[in-house]
Amino acid sequence: MSKRVIISGGGTGGHIYPAIAIANALKEIEPGIEILFVGALGKMEMEKVPRAGYEIIGLPIVGIKREISLDNLAFPFKLTNSLWKARSVIKNFRPDVAVGVGGFASGPLLMIASLLGIPTLIQEQNSYAGITNKLLAKRASKICVAYPGMEAFFPKEKVRLFGNPVRSDIVDVASKRQEALDYFGFQDGRKTLFVMGGSLGAKSINESINAGIANLVESGYQVLWQTGKGFISTAQATVSGLKSTSAKAFEFIYEMDLAYAAADVVVSRAGALSVSELCLAIKPSILVPFPFASEDHQTKNAMNLVQQDAAIFIKDSNAAEELIPAALSLLEDQKRQDVLKSNIQKLAKPTAAYDIAAEVLKLVK
């Protein structure tokens, strides 16, 4: 009888893509394995997971808003409903193991799985543990982490340090350089800045690039710009006004391996997935952490690199003044790029997805 695994969580690409990477690794190790995803209705996993070839079921769970909101009154009812639906999903699918990657849906699903005696594994992407994972840790069988020192949040005997699972096509992007330049319509021999604000976009980064992109292009650089949904029309209007093929704006880039391959320098938020991908792609990076992430974990992720001289840090509130000058300075300075590349490469963990998948399979009774 084939092994069955439920993977739950989502809300952002930083949760979804590690989950898909674990699923893909499980499929490679155990080709006959059955995998079901559980996400939150209305969140981006409901689109991204089927696109990756997996079935997903949505729970009506939502997060609690930090500000006073009438929406919070509905939270207890949606949580109760989600717990009942999670129980029904587990009873029907009968998983051998349940995996939680963070995000709204992982809470109800892993809580019910553990109460039903199903082994559970948590994958914590950040250097500061999220509330949901801290609550689930007490009943989890194993906890896979990306950063050292996570025993501060979790029982030491359960913790395994493997790094963050990322898509395997990001390994050795250097070999795809020409393919990437051709794909995006860029010239060889010119430095390219890749700007990404995560799957949902980044206001400070987008506004800074929008104000300074003409300067970048006039300085002889190419700009590949992923804006997210909310800023794409503004970005496209700005890019079309440049009357140059040296700048391209996209709402979302699915071909991330080619985006990294084209890039000489990257501007990014400091979500756990982005940081892990930058380490694996070996890219000199300017990190602008999202300051309102829970427990300010993006700043902690960024500082983990900065302390090892593996990235440049710019505070979100300073982006308007500092981001374009910093990007121009780094693009011009090949020696600085080489130092950042050498140091960030030391932090890469290319086998993380397979290490976590192997740990999942060990839990099958």
Same domain for 213 and 141: no
Same domain for 150 and 34: yes
Q: What is the pTM of this model?
A: 0.84
Diameter of the chain measured on Cα atoms: 62
Same domain for 61 and 197: no
Query: For residue 254, with 0-12 CB atoms within 10 Å meaning exposed, 13-18 middle and 19 or more buried, which class applies?
Result: exposed
Helices (H) and strands (E) in the chain, counts: 14, 13
| DSSP state at residue 90 | H
* Number of domains the chain is built from: 2
The CA-atom distances, in angstroms, between 14 and each of 44, 144, 183, 343 are 11, 15, 25, 23
Binding annotation: 12-14, 126, 167, 199, 253, 272-277, 298
Of 164, 219, 212, 213, nearest to 190 (Cα)? 219
Same domain for 155 and 216: no
Binding annotation for UDP-N-acetyl-alpha-D-glucosamine: 12-14, 126, 167, 199, 253, 272-277, 298
**Dist. CA 91–CA 95, nearest whole Å:** 8
Same domain for 178 and 159: no
Locate 135 and state its tokens. Answer: 């609550």
**What was the pLDDT predicted at 295?**
78
Residue with tokens 């939150």: 40
**What was the pLDDT predicted at 102?**
84
Q: DSSP characters for 300-320? A: HHHHHHHTTTSSEE--GGGHH
223 neighbors 195 (Cβ within 8 angstroms): yes
Same domain for 130 and 28: yes
96 neighbors 364 (Cβ within 8 angstroms): yes
Same domain for 161 and 27: yes
**Dist. CA 119–CA 31, nearest whole Å:** 21
**What was the pLDDT predicted at 199?**
64
Same domain for 14 and 155: yes
Same domain for 281 and 317: yes
Locate 82 and state its tokens. Answer: 């989600």
**What was the pLDDT predicted at 217?**
97
Same domain for 193 and 67: no
- Domain of residue 254: give its range: 172-345
Alpha helix (H) ranges present in the chain? Answer: 13-29, 45-51, 75-93, 106-115, 131-136, 177-184, 203-218, 232-242, 256-262, 272-281, 297-306, 319-332, 334-345, 352-362
Residue type at 83 in one-letter notation:
L
Same domain for 154 and 218: no
Same domain for 321 and 260: yes
- pLDDT tens sequence for the chain (365 residues): 799 999 998 877 778 889 999 999 999 999 999 999 998 888 888 998 999 999 999 887 765 555 555 565 555 666 778 788 899 999 999 999 999 998 778 889 999 999 999 999 999 988 888 788 888 999 999 999 998 899 999 999 999 999 999 888 888 899 999 999 999 999 999 999 999 976 667 999 999 999 999 999 999 999 999 999 889 999 999 999 998 999 999 999 989 999 999 999 999 999 888 999 999 999 999 999 999 887 788 999 999 999 999 999 999 999 999 999 999 999 999 999 999 999 999 999 999 999 999 999 999 97
CATH number where 149 lies: 3.40.50.2000
Residue 130 phi/psi, 5° resolution?
-75, 160
